[in-house]
Amino acid sequence: MDEKNNANEQINTSSGVGNFIHAIIDKDLKDNVYGNRVHTRFPPEPNGYLHIGHAKSICLNFGIAAKYKGLCNLRFDDTNPVKEDTEYIESIKRDVKWLGFDWEDRLFYASDYFEQLYEFAVKLIKKGKAYVCDLSAEEIRQYRGTLTEPGKESPYRNRSVEENLDLFRRMRAGEFPDGSRVLRAKIDMSSPNINMRDPVLYRIAHVPHHRTGDKWCIYPMYDYAHPISDALENITHSICTLEFEDHRPLYEWVLRELEFPTPPKQIEFARLELTNTVMSKRKLRKLVEEKYVDGWDDPRMPTISGLRRRGYTPESIRDFCERIGVAKRISKVDVALLEHCLREDLKLKEPRMMAVLRPLKVVITNYPEGQVEYLEVENNQENPEMGKRLVPFSREIYIERDDFMENPPKKFFRLSPGKEVRLKNAYYIKCEEVVKDEKTGEIIELHCTYDPETKSGTGFSGRKVKGTLHWVSAAHAVKATVRLYDHLFLEEDQLEGADYIEWEGMYLNKNSLEVLESYVEPALAEAKPESRFQFLRHGYFCTDISSTPDNLVFNRIVSLKSSYKPE
67 secondary structure, DSSP code: H
The DSSP element (H or E) to which 316 belongs, if any, is helix 314-324
Q: Which stretch binds Mg ion (CB under 5 A): 43-51, 212-220, 362-370, 380-388?
A: 43-51
Is 281 noted as a catalytic residue in this protein?
yes
Sign of CA dihedral 285, 290, 296, 301: negative
Binding string, residues 32-51; x marks residues near ligand ATP by CB under 6 A: -----------xxx------
Is 256 noted as a catalytic residue in this protein?
no
| From Mg ion, ligand ATP, none, interface partner of 240 (C-beta below 5 to 8 A by class) | ligand ATP
Q: Which stretch binds Mg ion (CB under 5 A): 45-53, 304-312, 439-447, 451-459?
A: 45-53
Residues 6+ apart with CB under 8 A from 320: 52, 337, 338, 341
Alpha helices in 334-384 (DSSP H): 335-346
* Minimum distance from residue 104 beta carbon to ligand ATP (Å): 19
241 part of the interface to ligand ATP, by CB under 6 A:
yes
- The residue nearest ligand ATP at its CB is 53
240 part of the interface to ligand ATP, by CB under 6 A:
yes
| From Mg ion, ligand ATP, none, interface partner of 537 (C-beta below 5 to 8 A by class) | none
End-to-end CA distance of the chain: 39
Measured CA to CA, the distance from residue 251 to residue 118 in angstroms comes to 17
* Minimum distance from residue 281 beta carbon to Mg ion (Å): 8
In this structure, the dihedral spanned by the alpha carbons of residues 385, 555, 343 and 269, taken in order and rounded to 10 degrees, is -130
* Minimum distance from residue 313 beta carbon to ligand ATP (Å): 20
Q: Of the residues 69, 144, 169, 271, which is catalytic? A: 271
SS (H, E, C) 242-272: HHHHHHHHHHHHHHHHCCCCCCCEEEEECCC
Q: Which stretch binds ligand ATP (CB under 6 A): 168-176, 272-280, 489-497, 545-553?
A: 272-280
Is 75 noted as a catalytic residue in this protein?
no
**Minimum CB distance to Mg ion smaller for 75 or for 309:** 75
Do β-strands 420-423 and 373-378 pair in parallel, antiparallel, or remain unpaired? unpaired
Amino acid identity of residue 158, one-letter, is N
- What are the distances in angstroms from CA 22 to CA 55, 60, 245, 274? 18, 10, 18, 24
Do β-strands 428-436 and 443-451 pair in parallel, antiparallel, or remain unpaired? antiparallel
Q: Of the residues 9, 45, 344, 378, which is catalytic? A: 45
**Minimum CB distance to Mg ion smaller for 80 or for 276:** 80
Q: Which stretch binds ligand ATP (CB under 6 A): 102-110, 275-283, 368-376, 380-388?
A: 275-283
Catalytic residue set: 45, 271, 281
Contacts to Mg ion by CB under 5 A: 45
Contacts to ligand ATP by CB under 6 A: 43-45, 53-54, 56-57, 240-241, 271-272, 279-281
